Amino acid sequence: QVQLVESGGGVVQPGGSLRLSCAASGFTFNLYAMHWVRQAPGKGLEWVAVTLFDGSNNYYEDSVKGRFTISRDNSKSTLYLQMDSLRAEDTAVYYCATDMMQGVIKGALDYWGQGTLVTVSS
């Protein structure tokens, strides 16, 4: 069965950095685009970034552009999110999720991890 397990969350000071990981299993990781989605406490979902199946193209939400970098290692079936210059408003549970369609970004996220909490606070 498909499993996505995020790790790397924690407490970081404003201006600091964190790298999130998402270990995938149970499907052919290198065929699917992968997304990061976040949810601030008590708030709605916010899409963060996507990387194509082969990592050739990445797209970002405007507020994280230039600060966050999405990447993947298909040999390890692992997705990453490098987060730099963190701000208080980046505090959220971060989920990784698979795109439903092979090879393209369909935008339908059919499998989600359990999420990892990132808290940006001094």
Partner 1 sequence: QSALTQPPSVSGSPGQSVTISCTGTSSDVGNYNRVSWYQQPPGTAPKLIIYEVSARPSGVPARFSGSKSGNTASLTISGLQAEDETDYFCSSYTTSSTLVFGGGTKLTVL
* CA neighbor of 2 nearest in space, from 23, 32, 27, 37: 27
Shortest distance in whole angstroms from residue 10 CB to partner 1? 19
- CA pair distance 76, 81, nearest whole angstrom: 15
Q: Which of residues 4-23 bind partner 1 (CB under 8 A)?
A: none
Token duo for residue 2: 């498909």
47 binds partner 1 (CB under 8 A): yes
Residues 53-82 that bind partner 1 (CB under 8 A): 57, 59-62
- For partner 1, the binding residue among 46, 84, 91, 119 (CB under 8 A) is 46
Region label for 54, one of left (φ > 0), alpha (ψ between -120 and 50) or beta (otherwise): alpha
**Residues within the interface to partner 1 (CB under 8 A):** 35, 37, 44-47, 50, 57, 59-62, 95, 100, 105-110, 112-115
